[in-house]
Amino acid sequence: MQFENSLLFAKQLDASDPLKKFRDEFIIPAVDGKEQIYFLGNSLGLQPKTAEPAIKEILQQWAGYGVEGFFKGTDPWLKYHDQLVKPLSAIVGALPQEVVVMNQLSVNLHLMLVSFYQPSGKRNKIICEAKAFPSDQNVLETQVKTHGLDPDKVIIEVSPRQGEHTIRKEDILQAIELNKDETALVLFSGINYYTGQLFDMAGITKEAQKAGARVGFDLAHAAGNVSLCLHDWNVDFACWCTYKYLNSGPGAVGGVFIHERHHADTTIPRFAGWWGYDAATRFKMEKGFKPDAGAQGWQLSTPSFLLYATHKAALGIAERAGWDRIQQKSRLLNDYLWFRLQEVNDRMKERSIEFITPQNADERGCQVSMLMLRRGRELFNALADAGIMVDWREPDVIRLAPVPLYNGFEEVWRFSDTLGRIIERVKNEK
């Protein structure tokens, strides 16, 4: 689409937005009654108005039935999980039996490494991105140590080249090729949390599996953000949190994908607990572990239905909006953001922003990370004062992510307009 540089044009885009009404389904943070421009969906998605009634429903079920709530009432807890898996599997491109909702992201990464990182002889290496989210680094380091191996020798990090911010695909593939006889696992994020770079998950998976390695992805910044085809890409496993683009609340329950070809493989180790036991015979309480079919067989504990509730509320909105339409709006909204940001930056005599997120639409999702070349922290503070909520990452990066379900084109226009003005103002201040 040919964008125009005017507030009127932004308003027209909003007027013709088929998802516009979904903003009303979220609680938008306000200061002194003034709604803020919330571009922090990459950090914590906003609260659906249906979250509170969904929690109350669980509480009422508990009040009315006690433990019988597992079987009775309008929404018996034993069936609750099925309602989450249907919309989620559409969002991550999986078969319903390949998805399980459980625990939180770091815990799930550990569980998946127990199953899919099985170093054997010299095939013990893990290839990952340099500067992955700290929790991922912690998971890898401690998993490797648990196997009695030295993280410095076993973990191979692929870095951006000198003077570059993002990792070239050819460098990832080359790292796999160079270590093809020694790699046990390739673990990447779908989208890097800092730069917003979207990795070619299909390409990485193909190359890694050709080399005989297993492949997993941390989709914290990708699930609910970009189009995913985990089943068709043949990914071995993936884990994500649901509090960012899936709007399910702080510390919300996590999600896991395990490809169906692994489900019946009894040689794959797993840490077990009774909630992963065969659902049909779980309550016979017999000795020995007999896993439930599918990804659900990786569960351990009784789920938190209070956490399920907010997740169900959020997924309900996504389902009603339609995943295809969410994707379409996301692309348009973010193309428009890029158009406006370029315009702001080009207008400056002295460039103030270096974009570290790839500009190519195939290599990014909603997030834009801006390396602020001068007085970044002041600019960030001034944005906050102007009612614009974005995110500051040391030493000098502002991250922001307008999201399709509750952000609009006029907000993008107002944000970029304010940013341009603030840059001019701060530049003239001594």
Ligand X SMILES: Cc1ncc(COP(=O)(O)O)c(C=O)c1O
> By the criterion CB under 6 A, which residues form the site for ligand X?
104-106, 133, 135-136, 189, 193, 218, 220-221, 241
- The CB-of-241 to ligand X minimum distance in angstroms stands at 4
Give Cβ neighbours of residue 2 (< 8 Å, ≥ 6 apart).
Answer: none
The residue behind tokens 């103002």 is: 425
Residue closer to ligand X, measured from CB, 315 or 419: 315
Q: Are strands 125-129 and 155-158 parallel, antiparallel or unpaired?
A: parallel
Residue closer to ligand X, measured from CB, 125 or 221: 221
Residue closer to ligand X, measured from CB, 220 or 383: 220
Residue closer to ligand X, measured from CB, 258 or 344: 258
Residue closer to ligand X, measured from CB, 110 or 270: 110
Residue closer to ligand X, measured from CB, 241 or 419: 241
- The CB-of-349 to ligand X minimum distance in angstroms stands at 36
Give the bridge partners for 257, in sequence order: 99, 238
- The CB-of-65 to ligand X minimum distance in angstroms stands at 31
Residue closer to ligand X, measured from CB, 207 or 218: 218
- The CB-of-200 to ligand X minimum distance in angstroms stands at 17
Q: Are strands 388-389 and 37-38 parallel, antiparallel or unpaired?
A: parallel
DSSP tag of 222: T
Exposure letters 281-311 (e unless 16+ CB within 10 A, then b) = eeeeeeeeeebbebbbbbbbeebebebbbbb
- The CB-of-8 to ligand X minimum distance in angstroms stands at 37
Exposure letters 315-353 (e unless 16+ CB within 10 A, then b) = bbbbeebeeeebbebbbbbbebbbbbbeebbeeeeeebb
State which residue has the least CB distance to ligand X: 106
Residue closer to ligand X, measured from CB, 13 or 109: 109
- The CB-of-290 to ligand X minimum distance in angstroms stands at 29
Phi then psi for residue 293, to 5 deg, are -70, 150
Question: Both tokens of residue 19?
Answer: 């998802």
Residue closer to ligand X, measured from CB, 389 or 426: 389
- The CB-of-196 to ligand X minimum distance in angstroms stands at 11
- The CB-of-287 to ligand X minimum distance in angstroms stands at 33
Beta carbons of 350 and 427 less than 8 angstroms apart: yes
Q: Give the closest residue to 399 by CA, choosing from 17, 42, 35, 29.
A: 42
- The CB-of-134 to ligand X minimum distance in angstroms stands at 8
DSSP code string of 147-209: TT--HHHHEEEE-PPTT-SS--HHHHHHHHHHTTTTEEEEEEESB-TTT-BBP-HHHHHHHHH
Q: How many CA atoms lie within 13 A of 101 on its CB side?
A: 30
Q: How many residues does the chain have?
A: 430
What are the Cα distances from residue 220, in Å, to 191, 192, 256? 8, 9, 11
